[in-house]
């Protein structure tokens, strides 16, 4: 009797394992959802302890930090040097530039050697330091530059302006300042815990991730979803109806960009602003899926409206600028995957394209 019972249990467990295995295989054979980068929430996979609280900038990378960041499609070793920069110790090469911006600059999705920062340094023969911090807007990127210039005597600033949300981040800056001022400095940034099973499965299992994405899509489909409202608000400037909103956001961002220009001039440093488009601006299928998730009609989208507005603003302010739209679009149309499927940041190919364009822009300055 006991043997029979044990046999049935073993058979049931074997069937379960086989079923899960086949489900995982099937999930891997299916093409990603066109808005997978929005539904997957890759930031949940950031390693604990990467960022510390800061009473002026909200967060800064933890000096000396080292860990692996794993997500669907990549596994990357991160290291933060003594100055809080991604990479190894600062060298002695000159000129010395700082790349400052948000997660597109930090580039935790690709190996250090594949980032546009390292590639650009090699192309220019300069030292280019990675000062990116996830979630930063222009005011925070400026504060980071000022601190590091004091410590490292920089010769140039490359500000990466992400058109996807930097305008909204700049509009929220007063609220961010208030929040930062309440923090105890130097503590690990608090992150919600989803449990050990989720933490292990989410970056490894496409089957599990697809279930989580379905649940998130259901949540975004609810009209009362706060996340749906936030995303719709950030997408609105990309529509014809959102032109007045875009004008207001550009007006709110102008003081930040003017402050960047004034700071670099006062410190006798060179400046270049790179305008980086979101994945849905380059890929129509992503755009249609992303707009649909938050109840917007993609037929009213004007994909280049935001980046064109930012470039025009930079021109009026007399700030050297480099648009990354055309080279990324050309590479995508030629068949290269320049953005990651489940993340929305640049792939290694995207970083190569960006580095080549930036080298051209900076070299022509």
| Per-residue model confidence as pLDDT tens digits over 101-136 | 999 999 999 999 999 999 999 999 999 999 999 999
- The reported pTM is 0.92
pLDDT at 17: 44
pLDDT at 16: 42
Q: Which residues of the chain have pLDDT under 70?
A: 1-31
Which structure tokens are listed for 346? Answer: 């640049």
Which structure tokens are listed for 42? Answer: 């890759």
pLDDT at 25: 57
Q: What is the mean pLDDT of the chain?
A: 91
The alpha carbon of 244 is separated from its chain's Cα centroid by a whole number of angstroms, namely 26
pLDDT at 31: 67
End-to-end CA distance of the chain: 83
pLDDT at 33: 78
pLDDT at 3: 56
């Amino acid at each position: 009797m006991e043997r029979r019972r044990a046999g049935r249990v073993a058979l049931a467990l074997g069937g379960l394992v086989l079923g899960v295995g086949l489900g995982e295989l099937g999930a891997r054979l299916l093409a990603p959802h066109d808005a997978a980068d929005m539904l997957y929430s890759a930031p949940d996979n950031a390693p604990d302890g990467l960022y510390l609280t800061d009473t002026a900038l909200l967060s800064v990378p933890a000096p000396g930090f080292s860990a692996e960041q794993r997500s669907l499609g990549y596994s990357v070793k991160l290291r933060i040097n003594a100055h809080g920069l991604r990479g190894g110790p600062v060298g002695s090469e000159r000129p010395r530039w700082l790349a400052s911006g948000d997660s597109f600059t930090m580039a935790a999705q690709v190996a250090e050697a594949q980032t546009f920062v390292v590639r650009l340094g090699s192309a220019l023969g300069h030292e280019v330091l990675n000062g990116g911090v996830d979630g930063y807007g222009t005011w925070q990127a400026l504060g980071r530059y000022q601190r590091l210039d004091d410590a490292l005597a920089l010769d140039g600033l490359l500000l990466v302006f992400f058109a996807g949300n930097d305008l909204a981040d700049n509009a929220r800056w007063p609220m961010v300042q208030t929040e930062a001022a309440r923090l105890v400095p130097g503590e690990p940034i608090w992150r919600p815990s989803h449990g050990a099973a989720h933490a292990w499965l989410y970056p490894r299992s496409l089957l599990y991730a697809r279930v989580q994405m379905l649940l998130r899509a259901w949540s975004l489909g609810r009209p009362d979803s706060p996340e749906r409202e936030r995303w719709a608000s950030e997408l609105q400037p990309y529509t014809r109806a959102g032109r007045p909103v875009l004008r207001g956001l550009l007006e709110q961002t102008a003081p930040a960009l003017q402050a960047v220009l004034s700071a670099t001039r006062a410190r006798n440093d060179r400046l270049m602003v790179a305008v980086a488009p979101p994945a849905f601006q380059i890929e129509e299928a992503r755009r249609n899926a992303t707009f649909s998730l938050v109840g917007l009609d993609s037929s009213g989208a004007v994909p280049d409206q935001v980046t064109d507005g930012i470039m025009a603003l930079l021109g009026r302010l007399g700030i050297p600028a480099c648009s990354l739209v055309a080279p990324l679009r050309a590479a995508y149309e030629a068949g290269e995957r320049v953005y990651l499927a489940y993340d929305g940041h640049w792939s290694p190919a995207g970083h190569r394209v960006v580095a080549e364009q930036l080298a051209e822009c900076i070299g022509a300055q």
